[in-house]
């Protein structure tokens, strides 16, 4: 491809709305242009990258025995009603009506559609297992689309769905997909860590996210991991063994103490000169419209996904001060929110984190301003909560639940997610096969997603420097860029064209920068767009030499044009061999 003809434009500056490097670089280097919030045009360079990512996925899925299909983007409400998700899927589901007033949605994921396909198309145990996948645009009306392709509203996903006879079969399918995922990401130049995670709106029992580890904000998830063993989990799922803490107070009886202005745990602990771990914190959440009191040890923090799951709620949020005051007023209390406690809320749902179980002679608020009770015990002074669960965020330095070593935390970008769905969809949608004995048995399912566009952006997050992108060879839009420094110079042009033609003849994907621009501009653009190899034909062509440069390492050598072609062909082929 001739750069003079390529539809692309590099910008002098980063876009003002971009916060993370992949967004900045992909816009500035001419790969993407924003259409509207969270929705992007993929320009020629980007589309080449995305097609490469897609093709690697396709190869790995085909090798793993999955079969490619394409399901519609627009989906009828009825199937979502059958699965029960029309009600539970929140505002991310883009709902619309057709001209006959029929309700539809834009596919955020395809469990319903594929389960309906299996319900019709798989009759006997003899047809199983089956794994179907597609590569397609998805739409989710994300509350906060940001970071360019990392979190769009429209994005490209590969989604696969496995159907098995039983749990054992599903486990096998899951393992095959897990292995294919590791290989796929590696081929894209990304080291990933599979981590246990919450299953979210997709559901099922067990799921693993594939995380690209980043220490920057572009990694939106906190990942806990252990160096002593293979334990790794998203913070929404991570569990840890608590470190020692003081959980029994020295008070000998329950009594009221004056705690003026001590509305926060830190203020209270300071005032009473105690460890925060002796305080029973009481928080108010609104879960699907109803208030819930949440108790947790004063030094710990609530993990909201865990809380939502424990409450079996569709949506939760912290209550506003006004809502807390109203709740207290309805129960005859006249205190400010910082002094709410569990006593006297017998008709309100109360849930407690497991850390609260160990508290003895502890401190708790009692719905009176500037007062707390100390030396309190469950059973005698406050009713023991009926519902305990793990509701807390694990902390770095707490012990690994598998081996006891201290846990570490890092940030990660979720590029893929695999789920053991079990019979969640097949039972709800009555999707069954006939077994050897003539019984109708629901399929045991798994589902497996990869964000194609997010993977490409994550590759930029991992591979760049201050000058631009450094694409891994397998997903680079072109392998080599040939630069004649001065297009008016006949010999430079001839050598460059010759290298360009020879590389193309070898099946290498080449750009030639035949623009009339200054050398500096060309070099800058080549670095910015991130082509892995650069061959420059400048003044030294008179001595029979060109410059061969590796973008990743910055290594430069002067060699003959023939040698440069040979080196490039070998490097590209070695990098692409699987």
Shortest distance in whole angstroms from residue 142 CB to ligand ATP? 5
The one of Mg ion, ligand ATP, none whose footprint includes residue 416, by CB under 5 to 8 A per kind, is ligand ATP
212 alpha carbon, distance to own chain's centre: 9
How far CA 8 is from CA of 190, 338, 429, 452, 505, in Å, comes to 26, 57, 48, 22, 25
Residue 433 has a CB neighbour count (10 Å cut-off) of 23
Q: Which residues, 6 or more positions from 511, have their beta carbon under 8 angstroms from its beta carbon?
A: 1, 2, 3, 6, 478, 480, 481, 482, 531
Query: Which among 329, 383, 376, 375 has a CA at the least distance from the CA of 352?
Result: 383
112 lies in the site for ligand ATP, by CB under 6 A: no
The one of Mg ion, ligand ATP, none whose footprint includes residue 30, by CB under 5 to 8 A per kind, is none
455 lies in the site for Mg ion, by CB under 5 A: no
Interface with Mg ion: number of residues (CB under 5 A): 1
Query: Which among 535, 507, 506, 540 has a CA at the least distance from the CA of 523?
Result: 535
Looking only at residues 128 through 147 of this chain, which bind ligand ATP when binding is defined by CB under 6 A?
140, 142
Judged by beta carbon, residue 109 or residue 115, the one nearer ligand ATP is 109
214 lies in the site for Mg ion, by CB under 5 A: no
151 lies in the site for ligand ATP, by CB under 6 A: yes
Residue from 259, 432, 453, 492 touching ligand ATP (CB under 6 A): that is 453
Q: How long, in residues, is the chain?
A: 578
Give 193-207 as a 3 state SS string. EEEECCCCCCCCCEE
Judged by beta carbon, residue 140 or residue 343, the one nearer Mg ion is 140
15 alpha carbon, distance to own chain's centre: 24
Interface with ligand ATP: number of residues (CB under 6 A): 17
247 lies in the site for Mg ion, by CB under 5 A: no
Shortest distance in whole angstroms from residue 431 CB to ligand ATP? 20
Rounded-to-integer distance, Cα 520 and Cα 574, Å: 30
Six-digit token string for 360: 């003895």
109 lies in the site for ligand ATP, by CB under 6 A: yes
The one of ligand ATP, Mg ion, none whose footprint includes residue 487, by CB under 5 to 8 A per kind, is none
The one of Mg ion, ligand ATP, none whose footprint includes residue 297, by CB under 5 to 8 A per kind, is none
Per DSSP, the chain holds a count of helices (H) and strands (E) of 14, 31
342 lies in the site for ligand ATP, by CB under 6 A: no
Shortest distance in whole angstroms from residue 197 CB to Mg ion? 7
Residue from 148, 152, 204, 468 touching ligand ATP (CB under 6 A): that is 152
Shortest distance in whole angstroms from residue 152 CB to ligand ATP? 4
417 lies in the site for Mg ion, by CB under 5 A: yes
Residue with tokens 């001739």, as numbered in its chain: 2
Rounded-to-integer distance, Cα 435 and Cα 166, Å: 11
On whether the CB atoms of residues 115 and 122 are closer than 8 A, the answer is no
Shortest distance in whole angstroms from residue 534 CB to ligand ATP? 31
Judged by beta carbon, residue 162 or residue 536, the one nearer Mg ion is 162
Six-digit token string for 119: 């319900």
Judged by beta carbon, residue 30 or residue 416, the one nearer ligand ATP is 416
Six-digit token string for 128: 């199983």
Judged by beta carbon, residue 143 or residue 322, the one nearer ligand ATP is 143
Rounded-to-integer distance, Cα 21 and Cα 37, Å: 18
249 lies in the site for ligand ATP, by CB under 6 A: no
Residue from 366, 415, 529, 531 touching ligand ATP (CB under 6 A): that is 415
Residue from 299, 414, 525, 527 touching ligand ATP (CB under 6 A): that is 414
On whether the CB atoms of residues 449 and 159 are closer than 8 A, the answer is yes
Query: Which among 159, 142, 158, 162 has a CA at the least distance from the CA of 150?
Result: 142
The one of Mg ion, ligand ATP, none whose footprint includes residue 155, by CB under 5 to 8 A per kind, is ligand ATP
The one of Mg ion, ligand ATP, none whose footprint includes residue 415, by CB under 5 to 8 A per kind, is ligand ATP
Shortest distance in whole angstroms from residue 61 CB to ligand ATP? 14
Beta bridge partners of 483: 536
Rounded-to-integer distance, Cα 213 and Cα 518, Å: 39
Residue from 15, 65, 84, 200 touching ligand ATP (CB under 6 A): that is 200
Query: Which among 243, 301, 249 has a CA at the least distance from the CA of 278?
Result: 249
| Site of interaction with Mg ion (CB under 5 A) | 417
Binding site for ligand ATP (CB under 6 A): 109, 140, 142, 151-152, 155, 157, 200, 202, 414-417, 449, 451, 453-454
């Amino acid at each position: 491809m001739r750069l003079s003809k390529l539809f692309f434009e590099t910008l002098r500056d980063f876009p003002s709305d971009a916060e993370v490097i992949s967004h900045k670089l992909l816009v500035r280097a001419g790969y993407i242009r924003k259409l509207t919030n969270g929705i992007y045009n993929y320009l020629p360079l980007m589309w080449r990258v995305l097609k490469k990512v897609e093709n690697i996925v396709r190869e790995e899925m085909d090798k793993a025995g999955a079969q490619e299909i394409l399901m519609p983007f627009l989906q009828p409400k009825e199937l979502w009603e059958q699965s029960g998700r029309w009600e539970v899927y929140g505002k991310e589901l883009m709902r619309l009506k057709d001209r006959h007033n029929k309700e539809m949605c834009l596919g955020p994921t395809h469990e319903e559609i594929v389960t309906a396909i299996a319900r019709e198309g798989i009759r006997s145990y003899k047809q199983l297992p089956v794994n179907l996948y597609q590569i397609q645009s998805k739409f989710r009306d994300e509350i906060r689309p940001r970071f360019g392709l990392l979190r769009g509203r429209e994005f490209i996903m590969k989604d696969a769905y496995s159907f098995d006879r039983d749990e054992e079969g599903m486990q096998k399918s899951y393992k095959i997909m897990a292995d294919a995922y590791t290989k796929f990401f590696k081929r894209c130049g990304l080291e990933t860590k599979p981590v246990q995670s919450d299953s979210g709106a997709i559901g099922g029992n067990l799921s693993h996210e594939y995380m690209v580890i980043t220490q920057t904000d572009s990694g939106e998830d906190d990942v806990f991991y252990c160096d002593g063993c293979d334990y790794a989990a998203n913070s929404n799922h991570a569990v840890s063994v608590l470190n020692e803490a003081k959980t029994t107070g020295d008070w000998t009886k329950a009594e009221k103490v004056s705690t003026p202005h001590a509305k926060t745990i830190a203020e209270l602990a300071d005032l009473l000169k105690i460890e925060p771990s002796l305080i029973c914190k009481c928080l108010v959440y609104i879960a699907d419209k109803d208030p819930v009191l949440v108790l947790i040890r004063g030094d710990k923090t609530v993990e909201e996904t865990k809380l939502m799951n424990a409450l079996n709620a569709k949506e939760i949020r912290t209550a506003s001060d006004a809502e807390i005051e109203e709740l207290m007023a309805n129960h005859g209390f006249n205190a400010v929110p910082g002094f709410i406690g569990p006593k006297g809320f017998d008709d309100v749902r109360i849930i407690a984190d497991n850390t609260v179980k160990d508290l003895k002679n502890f401190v708790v608020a009692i719905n009176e301003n500037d007062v707390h009770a100390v030396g309190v015990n469950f059973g005698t002074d406050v009713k023991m909560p009926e519902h305990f669960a793990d509701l807390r965020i694990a902390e770095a330095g707490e012990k690994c639940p598998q081996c006891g070593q201290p846990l570490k935390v890092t940030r990660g970008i979720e590029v893929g997610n695999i789920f053991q769905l079990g019979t969640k969809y097949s039972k709800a949608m009555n999707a069954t096969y006939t077994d050897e004995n003539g019984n109708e048995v629901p399929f045991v399912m798994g589902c497996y997603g990869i964000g194609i566009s997010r993977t490409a952006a994550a590759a930029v997050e991992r591979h760049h420097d201050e000058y631009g992108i450094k694409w891994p060879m397998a997903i680079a839009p072109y392998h080599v860029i040939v630069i004649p420094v001065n297009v008016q110079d006949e010999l430079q042009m001839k050598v460059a064209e010759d290298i360009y033609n020879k590389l193309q003849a070898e099946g290498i994907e080449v750009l030639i920068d035949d623009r009339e621009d200054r050398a500096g501009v060309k070099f800058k653009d080549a670095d910015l767009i991130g082509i892995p190899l650069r061959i420059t034909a400048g003044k030294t062509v008179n001595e029979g030499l060109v410059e061969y440069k590796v973008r990743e390492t910055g290594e430069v050598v002067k060699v003959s044009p023939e040698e440069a072609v040979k080196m490039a062909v070998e490097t590209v082929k070695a990098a692409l061999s699987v």
